[in-house]
Amino acid sequence: MSAVLDELTAGGVRMALPLLLASSGELLSERAGVLNLSVEGMMLTGAFAGAAGAHASGSAAVGVLTALTAGLLFAALQALLSVTLRADQIVTGITANALALGATTYGSRLLFGDGSQDALPGFDPLPVPLLHRIPVLGPALFELTLLGYAALAVTAVLAVALSRRTTWGLAVDAVGEDAVTADRCGLPVRTIRYATVLLTGATSALAGAQLALADVHAFSDNITGGIGYLAVVAVIAGRWRAWPTLLACLVFGLAQSLQFAAPALGLHLSAPLLTTLPYVFALLAVSGLVGRSRAPAGLTTPFVRGS
């Protein structure tokens, strides 16, 4: 049973890592008033760019750099539409996701042909001596890849940065609550919103690279499979706060991991039910059963100076 629990928790954390990265950036952006439904597209673009970079160069590190570059370019376009041109954030997000799915599928056909690609250069687990032997938590936290450790570090830094005890966190919250008042107080509203959207692009691209270069060492069509949408749901379930959002990501990750550990735990549940379990949890989260919450007052509201 101990081995099964080790497998369940390790799998849960591994599957939660892309969610942790993407939701950390999305939380930052939403707290600043910009809804990025395009997180799914950013992740998918990052996964494809990372796979393409690693395939072309033979280096996983180059793959991560190409993923980050692609994610930032994607996010810059999203910021241009949402912040500068004040386009509808929901429409642009859904459209961007559809565009990313089509473009990466076509690109995959061109680059990898029929999909029977060799394993891409990627990141292998790096166990931390002694610590990885701790029951349950050891395999989950101390047998990650280098990219996995980086993911945990990035999410922790962003969680601390969003604290209302930091200048940056206070500025982001001020812009997300009332951009006009924040502007009158001297805060650079558009700069802050651009910065948060770009950070969302970077974290989402890293999440995509985690999927392609650390989890499976390959790229497949629609490799994200809706994880980007789950990241948005995690922010809602976490009531737009950092640590509850991270907890929601871990719950979703464990729900996904349960698909593989259920037989060993004696749970004879149908495969379709286990597959849909994370989305059932997501539905319960956004339905209000996790408690009442209030989104930032300025979320999805374009900033117009002097309005």
Q: What pLDDT score does 198 carry?
A: 97
* Each residue's pLDDT tens digit, 236-272: 888 898 888 998 898 888 888 777 766 666 666 666 6
271 in a domain, yes or no?
A: no
Would the pLDDT of 3 be above 70? no
Q: Within 10 Å of residue 241's Cβ, how many Cβ atoms?
A: 17
The total number of structural domains in the chain stands at: 1
Q: What pLDDT score does 289 carry?
A: 61
Q: Which two tokens stand for residue 222?
A: 């629609």
68 in a domain, yes or no?
A: yes
72 in a domain, yes or no?
A: yes
Bridge partners of 145, per DSSP, are 125
Q: What is the dihedral of CA 288, 279, 94, 31, to 10 degrees?
A: 40
161 in a domain, yes or no?
A: yes
The alpha helices in the chain, defined as continuous H runs, are 2-31, 39-57, 60-79, 89-112, 137-141, 146-161, 167-177, 179-184, 189-209, 227-237, 242-261, 271-286
Least confident of 71-80, 110-119, 121-130, 262-271: 262-271
Whole-number average pLDDT of the chain: 87
* Each residue's pLDDT tens digit, 72-107: 999 999 999 999 999 999 999 999 999 999 999 999
Range of the domain at 204: 16-125+133-225
Q: What pLDDT score does 41 carry?
A: 96
| Entry pTM | 0.91
277 in a domain, yes or no?
A: no
278 in a domain, yes or no?
A: no
30 in a domain, yes or no?
A: yes
Q: What percent of the chain has pLDDT over 70?
A: 87
* Each residue's pLDDT tens digit, 143-180: 899 999 999 999 999 988 888 778 889 999 999 999 99
Q: What pLDDT score does 154 carry?
A: 92
Bridge partners of 125, per DSSP, are 145
60 in a domain, yes or no?
A: yes
User: Residue 299: is it exposed, middle or buried by C-beta count within 10 angstroms (0-12/13-18/19+)?
Assistant: middle
